[in-house]
Amino acid sequence: MAIELPKKKIEPVSQDPNNLILFGQIKVGKTTIVAELDNCLILDFEKGSDYVTALKIKVNSISHLKEICVQINKEGCPYDFIAIDTITALEDFAKPLALSLYKSSPLGSTSDIDDVLKLPRGAGYGYLREAIEKLIGMVSSVCKHVILIGHVKDSAIGSDEDEVNVKTLDLTGKIKRITASKSDAIGLVYRDDDSNLCVSFVNNGEVEVGARPTHLANQKIIVAERQPDGTFVSHWERIYPSLNK
């Protein structure tokens, strides 16, 4: 069958980010912000959802996560969104799977190592990256959109003389870069002066953020507007325009 090459520019298929990363300081409101998103299941890896009303389930192991995904699939994948809370904790959860992947390789089949990150020359991080990708892929297969929630850390960038601290996602080295590169948008969660929950996609050299969808690129968005009684009004349609339809 002959390949038909495009003769004119093709319009975007969607403005919604399929894979979104939100990161911020501890207790800034990352879990609260996704709890305000309709039909979003929170997979709680570090008991951060105890004080919010939400669709949520605590995950205590990788095998438990697999069981949850199987059940979601059996029930017809009813959730439009699934939030992994947090990707930082998922990295720790993935280590046994990474070790299993190494043990399944010809190189590791006879090894008695019990921590894949102890492999020489950082070889274990490749297996950890593969393990994390498998777990995120498993979640992605049972919903339309995945949201990865993470903590923030300050990373020193540049030479000693020109060194600056940049707020970035708290993940290990190449794992962070590859995870971010495969996401459609990565934003910093913060509260403004009125305690509204906001997401910044503005890349000003101080925060490692960005977005492929044009409506998010270099924007600061109020996603959950705080009311006088302490509740929030959600504006997630500002990130996922299809919610307006």
The reported pTM is 0.88
- pLDDT at position 209 is 87
Give the C-alpha separation, 14 to 12, whole Å: 6
Mean pLDDT (the chain) is 86
Three-state DSSP string of 62-77: HHHHHHHHHHHHHCCC
User: What's the full length of the chain, in residues?
Assistant: 245
pLDDT mean over 25-49? 91
- pLDDT at position 145 is 95
From residue 127, alpha-carbon distances to 65, 155, 171, 234 in Å are: 19, 24, 15, 38
DSSP H/E element including 44: strand 40-44
Give the C-alpha separation, 8 to 148, whole Å: 35
- pLDDT at position 113 is 81
More confident residue, 165 or 94: 94
The phi-psi region of residue 168 (left if phi > 0; otherwise alpha if psi is between -120 and 50; otherwise beta) is beta
- pLDDT at position 157 is 39
The string of pLDDT tens digits covering residues 59-76 is: 999 999 999 999 999 999
Beta bridge partners of 55: 41
More confident residue, 202 or 123: 202
Whether residue 164 is predicted with pLDDT greater than 50 in this model: the reply is no
